[in-house]
Structure 1
Amino acid sequence: MSKSTRATLALSKAGVSFETVTYDYDPDADRIGLQAAEAIGAAPSIVLKTLMAEVDGKPVCVVLPSDEEVSMKKLASAFKGKSANMMKPAQAEKTTGFVVGGISPFGQKKQVPTVFEEQALAHALVYMNGGQRGLQVKLAPQDAIKAANGFAASVIA
């Protein structure tokens, strides 16, 4: 497995300090983020999942703890929109250039507005997808927000 992906290159280019962590990705897992947390031995609250959604028809990225669900109402509000819905997997892959299970908020083909669940800021370090299945990056949440040119808001249900 390559530890050099568009996501890790984007983090390096942004001058962000991070570590890579690999694990055995299970394509049959019901919840990919929870499977990643278990595989790397980390609490689900610090292993963040990356979801692609649309707010008023425009693509957005949302990053939240793997054991939480996104509130579409709060997501729309975070982007000052009226409605939000999850992006279909094929569209998420086309938009980001990553495969589902390997979507990262960093190094996307076309960078879209990104929101991080504000609870992530309570932790010194968090894990996020590193741009391919079975690869996580460990970094400070403030650095992640900076690297993704994102912002923090309450988006969980």
Structure 2
Amino acid sequence: MTPAIRYLQMSQIPFDSHSYHCEVSEDFGRHAADQLGLPAEVVYKTLLIHQEKQVVVAVIPVDCHLNLKEAAKAAGLKKVEMLKPADAERLTGYKVGGISPFAQKKKLPTLLDSRALAQEKILVSGGKRGLSVGLTPADLVRSLGATVAPIAE
């Protein structure tokens, strides 16, 4: 059981888990959508961005790219860049390809792309490669105090 699953259970957030065989070393999100037979617009990836020491989590659809300018604006920062994978792993406690927005080592501000609100349910990483959890966008926003903004393109 991952920290993300424990967090969801302890917080009594309704979710369902989806396991799949992960056999790639990049584009994990699109691979998850393909393996689970789900449209890419309901499967979301977790990215980390930063401005100096201020780190922010960005959750966007797997078929989109993060708009750094819009993400910075939504986070109230001037200019952000992607966090290096090794730094993301160290900061979250999860491996790249399995970084969940839930139960990271340090509580970080979270941004959710506004497209999520059009979905009844979205899938995000469950805390390891090959495991996703499905939940309502409203539950994700409420549990993480996430800011919803148009951050994907």
Q: Please give the TM-score of this superposition, normalised by the length of structure 2.
A: 0.96
> How many Å separate the matches in 2 of 1:9 and 1:144?
15
State the Cα RMSD in Å: 1.0
In structure 2, what is the Cα distance between the partners aligned to 1:152 and 1:56? Answer: 23
Question: What is the aligned counterpart of 2:137 among 141, 145, 155?
Answer: 141
1:107 paired with 2:89, answer no
Paired AA for residue 5 in structure 1: T
Partner of 2:91: 95
Match status 1:32 vs 2:28 = yes
Gapped regions of structure 2 (runs ≥ 5) = none
- Of the three residues 7, 10, 18, the one matched with 1:10 is 7
CA contact (8 A) 1:55 1:79 kept: no
- Between 100-109 and 56-65, report the one with greater CA deviation: 56-65
Measure the CA separation in 2 of the matches of 1:53 and 1:129. 17
The count of corresponding residues between Structure 1 and Structure 2 is 153
CA drift of 1:46 comes to 0.4
- How many angstroms apart in 2 are the aligned matches of 1:123 and 1:31? 22
**Distance (whole Å) between structure 1 residues aligned to residue 67 and residue 51 of structure 2:** 12
Moved over 2 A (4+): none
* Distance of aligned partners of 1:83 and 1:57 in 2 relative to their CA distance in 1, 3 Å threshold: farther
Residue type of the alignment partner of 1:138: G
Q: Would you say the 8 A contact 1:21–1:137 is kept in 2? A: yes
TM-score by length of 1: 0.94
Aligned-pair CA distance for 1:56: 4.8
Cα offset, 1:14, TM superposition: 1.8
Partner of 2:71: 75
Select 2:59's aligned residue among 57, 63, 67.
63
Could you say what secondary structure the match of 1:111 adopts?
coil
Distance 2:73 2:52 in 1: 11
> Percent identity between the aligned chains?
35
Residues 55-64 or 34-43, more deviating: 55-64
User: CA deviation digits over 1:99-130, x for unaligned, max 9?
Assistant: 10110000101010000001001100111000
